[in-house]
């Protein structure tokens, strides 16, 4: 199975800051056929279902604010949230779908400082 390692596990921020969440996979997620990285990012607020933010490592889902930016390739990926707002406080998960079983990172909890 592909292991997804997220860091940090938690992050305390002030509104307006820029934050970076890292996700590392145990093998490359780059698909040679489609020339894309098979990685997604989700946001989960307390008591809610996860919400898709980013797929194919850097494609923002429709309706997701442009302050959410996905980047990276191969085994190292990053979710950057610029100018964090109070509504962004949540848990964030990366997920690989390069190979089954698809696997999630353990999550990063974004908290208010």
Partner 1 sequence: EVKLVESGGGLVQPGRSLKLSCAASGFSFNDYWMGWVRQAPGKGLEWIGEINQDSSTINYTPSLKDKFTISRDNAQNTLYLQMSKLGSEDTAIYYCASSPWGWFAYWGQGTLVTVSS
* Residues found near partner 1 in the complex (CB under 8 A): 1, 38, 40, 42, 44, 49-52, 55-56, 61, 93, 95, 97-98, 100-107
Rg (CA), the chain: 13
CB nearer partner 1, residue 16 or residue 101? 101
The token pair at 8 is 């940090």
CB nearer partner 1, residue 11 or residue 40? 40
CB nearer partner 1, residue 20 or residue 102? 102
Q: Count the residues in the chain.
A: 113
* Least gap, CB of 95 to partner 1 (angstroms): 7
End-to-end CA distance of the chain: 36
∠ CA 67-13-91, nearest 5°, is 70
């Amino acid at each position: 199975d592909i292991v997804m390692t997220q860091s940090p596990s938690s992050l305390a921020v002030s509104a307006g800051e820029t934050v970076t969440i890292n996700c590392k996979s145990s093998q490359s997620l780059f698909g040679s056929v489609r020339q894309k990285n098979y990685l997604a990012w989700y946001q989960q607020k307390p008591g809610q279902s996860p919400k898709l933010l980013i797929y194919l490592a850097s494609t923002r889902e429709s309706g997701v604010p442009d302050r959410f930016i996905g980047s990276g390739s191969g085994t190292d990926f990053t979710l950057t949230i610029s100018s964090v707002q109070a509504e962004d406080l949540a848990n964030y998960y990366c997920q690989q779908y390069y190979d089954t079983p698809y696997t999630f990172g353990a999550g990063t909890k974004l908290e208010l400082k």
